[in-house]
Structure 1
Amino acid sequence: MSIAFVVDRFGNRFGGAEAYGVALMRELFAAGHQVTVFAREYDPACDLRLPYRAIRVSTRWPGWVRGWLFAHRAARATQAGFDIVHSHCNGWCGDVEVVHVTPVRYRWRVQPMAWLKRCLSYPSLRVQTYLGLERRRMAARPGHRVVAVSQLIAYQLEQAYGPFACPLPVIPPGVSVAPASAAEVRVRTRESLGLDQHLTLCLLVARNPMRKGLPTVLQALGQLPEDVHVLVVGANAAARTCVDQAPHAVRQRVHLVAETAQVAPYYQAADIYVHPTLNDSFGMAPLEAMSFGLPVILSPAPWCGFAQYVRAGDEALVLSHPEHADELARAVVRIRTDAALRQHLQEGMRAVLARHAWPEVARQYQAVYSAILAEKNAS
């Protein structure tokens, strides 16, 4: 099968949705399919090398204009020569349209919003362009499927657009079980960060740490013993400013690493994964943390879609609210002091990983592709 994969940027270091695409295309390529990537950028450090056609859009344009130009050029570039066009971008080119984030229409027309902000959205060319792109993306046609990456996204899509003519598949991200951690990797990584080998290290991996709950993590850290530290991988300017403004006793126990595609050593160096996110349609980072054997603390739905896929207390600890720093601090203390709880969570994590294996995700997509091709042939 010849597959065109359309994504803004291809590579693990760009974020969870992008990492989803890389892992899925890896499985499909391994299964014998021909995959061509259409993207604005292909990470040269990505270990998966596929045929690539660049879609160039000048950065001089504002974001909403770039989005329309990208959609137009992607549609033109993929209109012939492929059995399936699989898109992760807003636009109208895809046979399969995978929705990773809160739908534009849900955000601007369904969820509560200040009346003035909603009124101003109607004459806004920016908002209307995004709404128009998404409306074309959702439009029913033969051989077309919209796929949600979580039950939360599926619910939001149906609230925004009503019942879909075809069933709305929900295919959450997968994960590969990490190889057994080598003790020397943990030691070496901690040494590189200047960390004592015996302290408790909490990890947060995010392209935008502020949205993933960094302020709550810092507040919780202030309530925890001095031998608890926090490592933030993916720290941007906003995250550094937030840490700089924290009390000295907190600031000196926070360690920042810039965005990188090589995250595995940091998972291996950590003891607990903290994810009090404010906005995650799914949340691949905590799932990936589980693959490295880390106990996970995360936000509940609707702030974190992944919370709908774990049994609270058995497979992860789930907060009652992402901004309850005292609750996060108590959860960290429970995990670091209760060996029985850690063992219980470890056993639960194995069940989560079994449910989210990438080969199973790829199998579900291939079933969607087969249904699409059957419809196209029939019409």
Structure 2
Amino acid sequence: MSQVENSSRRLRIAVLNRLFKPTAGGAERYSIALVEQLAMRHEIHVFAQEIAHRHPDVNYHRIPTPLRRPRWVNQLWFSAATWWYTRRGFDVVHSHENTWHGQVQTVHVLPVWHNLFVGRSGVALALRWVKVVTSPRLLTYLALEIMRYRVRNGRLIVLPSESLCDVMMQTFPATSASLRVLTPGIPEVWGVTTDAQRRYARRSLGLPADGQCILFVGNDFRKKG
């Protein structure tokens, strides 16, 4: 099969995302937007525990949630269940979760290893290790993460920003050749706003009529600083 024929082949793709609904956050909205684009050319199957999305060309598979708490147990359960359902029959498994399986791993948050260990040394580092070895939750998250970022032939790790890519290279340097940046976007731009539209927007948001402003858009903005 030629490279052109192979690139145009319709693929059967599994997408793993525990919460597949746009109100769950930016990572979930990113996943949904990607699924909607891929569904135009490929057969898409979404595996999730909560689904609030409908698309005529997407197949949905709800994963049971026998135990919501503690979260690390549910994460382990979701990883095992999706591995079982997708272990055969798919050309590509694309995970947006901390799982050990999947040819494509999209990372939306800072690695647990980075948050725990990077930038610490001496007593501070030793105390972190004590915290880890006495915590089933942290041990589970770290074990899943290490398996997730293990270098394998054909595995790609996708980051939504260059800054997160830099963190990944610092934390897991062995993955550098597998890293790809795919920034989020919008389907269309309405065009340049008029002066009247800008004045109206400033008034409605309670902003001063003149001067530069920085607009921050995001769910759980308090957590993001």
- Give unmatched runs, 5+ long, in structure 2: 1-10
Q: Counterpart of 1:200 in 2: which secondary structure?
A: coil
Q: Assess, with a 3 A threshold, how the Cα gap between structure 1 residues 204 and 152 changes in structure 2: closer, same or farther.
A: closer
Of residues 80-89 and 102-111 in structure 1, the stretch that sits farther from structure 2 once superposed is 102-111
Look up the equivalent residue of 1:27 and give its one-letter code: Q
The aligned residue for residue 209 of structure 1 is 221
Query: How many angstroms apart in 2 are the aligned matches of 1:139 and 1:83?
Result: 20
Q: Assess, with a 3 A threshold, how the Cα gap between structure 1 residues 48 and 106 changes in structure 2: closer, same or farther.
A: same
The aligned residue for residue 370 of structure 1 is none
What is the aligned-residue RMSD (CA, Å)?
Answer: 2.9
Alignment partner of 1:39 is 2:51: no
Instruction: Report matched runs for 1:219-368 at 5 Å.
Output: 278=225
Q: State the identity %.
A: 32
CA drift at 1:166: 3.5
Look up the equivalent residue of 2:156 and give its one-letter code: R
CA drift at 1:175: 2.0
1:110 alignment partner, one of 118, 143, 153: 118
Query: How many angstroms apart in 1 are the aligned matches of 2:189 and 2:141?
Result: 38
The aligned residue for residue 6 of structure 1 is 16
Look up the equivalent residue of 1:206 and give its one-letter code: G
TM superposition score normalised by structure 2:
0.78
Q: Counterpart of 1:143 in 2: which secondary structure?
A: coil
**Count of residue pairs brought into register by the alignment:** 202
The aligned residue for residue 147 of structure 2 is 136
Query: How many angstroms apart in 2 are the aligned matches of 1:89 and 1:173?
Result: 18
TM superposition score normalised by structure 1:
0.48
2:181 alignment partner, one of 153, 170, 178: 170
Q: Counterpart of 1:163 in 2: which secondary structure?
A: helix
CA drift at 1:172: 1.7
CA contact (8 A) 1:38 1:52 kept: yes
CA drift at 1:119: 2.6
CA contact (8 A) 1:140 1:165 kept: no
1:48 alignment partner, one of 35, 46, 55: 55
CA drift at 1:204: 5.2
Q: Counterpart of 1:207 in 2: which secondary structure?
A: coil
Q: Assess, with a 3 A threshold, how the Cα gap between structure 1 residues 198 and 84 changes in structure 2: closer, same or farther.
A: closer
CA drift at 1:120: 1.4
- Give unmatched runs, 5+ long, in structure 1: 213-277, 279-379
2:88 alignment partner, one of 74, 80, 83: 80
Instruction: Report matched runs for 1:93-108 at 5 Å.
Output: 93-108=101-116
Look up the equivalent residue of 1:17 and give its one-letter code: A
Instruction: Report matched runs for 1:148-163 at 5 Å.
Output: 148-163=159-174
Query: How many angstroms apart in 2 are the aligned matches of 1:85 and 1:135?
Result: 18
The aligned residue for residue 361 of structure 1 is none
CA contact (8 A) 1:78 1:93 kept: no
CA drift at 1:159: 2.0
CA contact (8 A) 2:116 2:128 kept: no
Q: Counterpart of 2:13 in 1: which secondary structure?
A: strand
Q: Assess, with a 3 A threshold, how the Cα gap between structure 1 residues 120 and 177 changes in structure 2: closer, same or farther.
A: same
CA contact (8 A) 1:154 1:168 kept: yes
Query: How many angstroms apart in 2 are the aligned matches of 1:197 and 1:99?
Result: 36
Deviation sequence 1:198-233 (CA, Å, 0-9, x none): 953886543213123xxxxxxxxxxxxxxxxxxxxx
CA contact (8 A) 2:49 2:64 kept: yes
Q: Assess, with a 3 A threshold, how the Cα gap between structure 1 residues 149 and 182 changes in structure 2: closer, same or farther.
A: closer
Q: Counterpart of 1:126 in 2: which secondary structure?
A: helix
CA contact (8 A) 2:67 2:73 kept: no
Look up the equivalent residue of 2:76 and give its one-letter code: W
